[in-house]
Amino acid sequence: MFSDVIAPKETLLCAPGSEEPLFDRQQLSYSGCSERFRLGERSFSRQYAHIYATRLMQMRDILNDRAAHKWGEKPLDCRGLNWKATSTHPSL
C-alpha cells in the first residue's frame, strides 16, 4: 500500500530537524465593529414551560385522536432543531 511507495532521501527538501526559521510577526491595528450587533442582557425569569406541560397533559388524548384521524395510526418521525442561547456560543 503506502509503504510500497517511499520517497528516496535525495528528493526531500531538507533533512528533518529542530532548527526552524523564525519570522517576525507584523503588528496590525484592529478596531472591532461588531458591538452594535451584540444582543443585550437576556432575562429568563418569565418561563412558561409549566403552563405548556399542563396544557399538553390535558390535551394529549384529544391531540392523539386528531393526529391519528389526520395521518393514520402509524407514528411519524418528528425532526427539528432545538436552540439554547448560552453565553458560550460565539457571536457571529
Tens digit of each residue's pLDDT (9 = 90 or more) over 31-56: 888 888 888 887 777 788 899 999 99
Residue 7 has pLDDT above 70, yes or no: no
DSSP label at 4? G
This prediction has a pTM of: 0.35
Going by C-beta distance under 8 Å and a sequence separation of 6 or more, which residues neighbour residue 34?
A: 91
Say which residue, 50 or 22, is predicted with more confidence: 50
38 and 91 Cβ atoms separated by less than 8 Å:
yes
